[in-house]
Amino acid sequence: MSKLNIVILAAGKGTRMYSNTPKVLHEIGGKSILAHVIESAKALRPSKIIVVYGYGGEVVREAFAQENISWVKQAEQLGTGHAVQQALPFLDADADTLILLGDVPLVDAEVCQKLVEQSDNTLAILTFNKADPTGYGRIERSVNGNVQAIVEHKDATAAQRNIIEVNTGIMAMPNKYLVQWLSQLTNNNAQAEYYLTDIVSLAVAQGIKVAAEITADEWSVTGINSKVDLSAIERVYQNRNAQKLLQQGVTLKDPSRLDVRGTLFCGRNVEIDVNCLFEGNVTLADNVKISANCVIKNAVIGIGSRVAPFTHIDDTHIAENCSIGPYARLRPGTVLAAETHIGNFVEIKNSQVDIGSKINHLSYVGDATVGANVNIGAGVITCNYDGANKFRTVIEDNVFIGSDTQLVAPITIGKNATIAAGSTITKDAPAEQLTFCRAKDQKSIANWKRPTKINEKNS
Ligand code: UD1
Ligand code: CA
């Protein structure tokens, strides 16, 4: 097999998206449409990937600045043939070229591989049967089934329009022929465009073999032109991803109510309840259980840990056998050691919590280092911010912080210390002692009456 060049056509304006974002930068599964195409292209190990982009496409280029891609601008969109002509200076004379479309994100690398394997001395095209072929190029075959030409919808006769086998736009051929064919294209057609599809009849005229691979997977060749298409493909992508997880042994309470925008890696015996969203890179170790309605982004959750409903986790590392939520919010920089318990309405940010500690109700813990076996009572707040700067709170092992305490950072609470409920602690608390700081005098007023509602008519 010879060297492979891949040309991705992405100069289309995407007018029907009605968006300021270029079409190919819209996302499927949290990754841009073009990124999906590039990923499939890379799987084929080409020597070169060339992307043909159009007016306003500089942001597209910038989005892929890290990738080893040759970019070619097609200033005016004069057709798919014209687009490939722009890539000619980048093509290797001795290579084969695979043409992909930048707006077809579910393109199947294995099917492309089949085309490429045939392309040494052949023009290999990918087709499919479409119940309503309106708009597509039709595959015209001879009586003995050989492909003769691709006829664009607008140029097709009534009889040709009845053909349901259509062109996907994906094809592979040797560059030595492609170069010749591109130079012979004309724009004498209904759209006054240079059609890449005209290379089929040029090949036939030269006696070069045209092979058609018919795919049964329509979604893998479906392009995105509108938000309607985008949402349909998103669902297909999500369903396929959910099926893969099920096949790996993950329990999904309802595969149609799972969204993965990134990569979700699951160990054995993982269970995920409905309406969970996973973003970025998430790893769920063996026996992890995620309850309904959780949003989890860039996180590692250790063996046997449980996440209760409505919990939000971002950029967090959770060790084994932890219990999180319901309604917990773990923000970036949270690191929880084994067997920690984080309960409802607790927010943790940029903090480490050591083994077995419990923060069970209504607390804010920010910029803190919490030791092992610490119990933080309900409504405790680390006052980490003075309006200008952030400071750390250090809570050493076996500390007990009573409810409704404010710890004004920078501050250290020594080992085995107890802080009485309702305290506002502004200075370091010594180890082993009880420290409290409350209003001194508790008063009771006898015969005190609660206010009653003022009668509106008399007021
Ligand atoms: C093209 C095919 C048609 C096929 C259909 C599949 C041609 C002439 N027709 O039709 O046989 O059934 O795709 O969807 O090839 N593009 C450029 N520059 C251009 C024109 C297009 O880069 O000047 C890119 C677009 O961004 C897009 C792809 O080429 O990714 C296809 O263009 P589009 O206009 O959608 O093709 P159709 O005319 O629908
Ligand atoms: Ca067109």
> Residue 217 belongs to what domain range?
4-221
Q: For ligand 1, say whether the CB of 30 is within 6 Å of any of its atoms.
A: no
Give dist(CA 317, CA 102) in Å, integer. Answer: 36
Residue 65 domain flag = yes
Does residue 194 sit in the same domain as residue 253? no
What separation in Å is there between the alpha carbon of 213 and the centre of ligand 2? Answer: 23
pLDDT tens figures, 139-174: 999 999 999 999 999 999 999 999 999 999 999 999
Structural tokens at position 440: 């001194």
Please state, in angstroms and rounded to a whole number, the distance separating the CA atoms of residues 382 and 359: 12
> Is 52 touching ligand 1 by the criterion CB < 6 Å?
yes
Q: Is 151 inside a domain boundary?
A: yes
**pLDDT for the residue 55:** 75
pLDDT at residue 67 greater than cutoff 80: yes
Examine residue 133 and say whether the peptide bond preceding it is cis (omega within 30 degrees of 0).
no
| Burial annotation 389-417 (CB, 10 A radius, 16+ → b, else e) | eeebbbbbbbbbbbbbbbbbbebbbbebb
Residue 322 Cβ inside 6 Å of ligand 1? The answer reads no
Q: Using the mean position of ligand 2's atoms as its centre, give its distance from the Cα of residue 79 in Å.
A: 6
Mean of pLDDT values over 434-438: 94
Q: Is residue 316 part of a domain?
A: yes
**Last residue of some domain: 221, 250, 281?**
221
Structure token pair of residue 59: 């942001």
In the predicted structure, residue 179 carries a pLDDT above the cut 90 = yes
Average pLDDT, the chain: 96
Nearest ligand to the C-alpha atom of residue 81: 1
Would you say the CB of residue 102 lies under 6 angstroms from ligand 1?
yes
**Predicted local distance difference test score (pLDDT) of residue 56:** 77
The ligand 1 atom nearest the CA atom of 102: 30
Residues 18 and 167 in one domain: yes
Minimal-distance CA residue to ligand 1 atom 3: 137
What is the spatial distance between Cα 312 and Cα 271, in angstroms, rounded to a whole number?
17
List, for residues 2-59, the tens digit of each pLDDT value. 899 999 999 988 999 999 999 999 999 999 999 999 999 999 999 999 999 997 789 9
Distances in Å between the alpha carbon of 234 and those of 20, 219, 332? 20, 11, 28
Instruction: Name the pLDDT band for 458 (thresholds 50, 70, 90).
Output: low
What pLDDT score was predicted for residue 327? 98
Q: Which atom of ligand 1 is nearest to the CA of 83?
A: 18
Specify whether 232 is located in the same domain as 216: no
217 is a domain residue: yes
Pocket test for ligand 1, best of 17, 71, 80 (most atoms within 8 A of CB): 80
The CATH number covering residue 304 comes to 2.160.10.10
Please report, in angstroms and rounded to a whole number, the separation of the first and last CA atoms in the chain: 94
Same domain, 24 and 131: yes
Q: Is 128 in the pocket of ligand 1 (CB under 6 A)?
A: no
Same domain flag for 13 and 84: yes
C-alpha 287 – ligand 1 centre gap (Å): 48
How many structural domains are present in the chain? 2
The predicted structure's pLDDT at residue 457:
64
Per-residue pLDDT at 119: 84
348 lines ligand 1 (CB under 6 A): no
pLDDT band at 455 (very low <50, low <70, confident <90, very high): confident
Q: Which of 221, 252, 270 is the last residue of a domain?
A: 221
Same domain, 203 and 139: yes
Ligand 2 midpoint to CA 14 (Å)? 11
Spatial separation of the C-alpha atoms in residues 299 and 348, rounded to whole Å: 14
Looking at the structure, tell me whether residues 211 and 327 fall in a common domain. Answer: no
Is there a catalytic annotation at residue 361? yes
pLDDT at 459 over 60: no
What confidence tier does 456 reach under pLDDT thresholds 50, 70, 90? low
Query: Angle formed by the axes of helices 199-206 and 175-184, to 10°?
Result: 110
Residues 216 and 294 in one domain: no
Minimum-distance ligand 1 atom for the alpha carbon of 104: 30
Ligand 1 contacts CB of residue 343 (under 6 A): no
